[in-house]
């Protein structure tokens, strides 16, 4: 349920700034086999939507 939140924490570099319990939780979620499979699948995704790929983060 919280996997999407953990991925955002990873993307935005928040995990190292969390308290130790939360950081350990996030690391455990990211180390879960299902999460590793999810990341591996995303890495092979070929679909690109040009309007979203062209955007930059301010």
Q: Let me know if residue 40 belongs to a domain.
A: yes
Contacts of 3 (CB under 8 A, 6+ apart): 29, 35, 38
User: Does some domain include residue 58?
Assistant: no
Mean per-residue pLDDT, 34-58: 83
Q: Whole domain around residue 38: which residue ranges?
A: 3-53
Average pLDDT over residues 31-54: 88
Assessment of whether the complete model's pTM goes beyond 0.85: no
- DSSP-assigned letters across all residues of the chain: --HHHHHHHHHTT-GGGS-HHHHHHHHHHHHSHHHHHHHHHHHT-----HHHHT----
Task: Report if residue 24 sits inside a domain.
Answer: yes
pLDDT at site 30: 95
How many domains are contained in the chain? 1
Decide if 26 is inside a domain.
Answer: yes
pLDDT for the residue 55: 67
Report pLDDT digits (tens) over 11-28. 999 988 999 999 999 999
């Amino acid at each position: 349920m919280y996997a999407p939140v953990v991925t955002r924490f990873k993307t935005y570099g928040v995990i190292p700034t969390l308290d130790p319990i939360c950081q350990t939780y996030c690391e455990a979620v990211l180390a879960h086999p299902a999460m590793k499979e999810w990341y591996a699948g995303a890495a092979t995704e070929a679909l690109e939507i040009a309007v979203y790929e062209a955007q930059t983060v301010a």
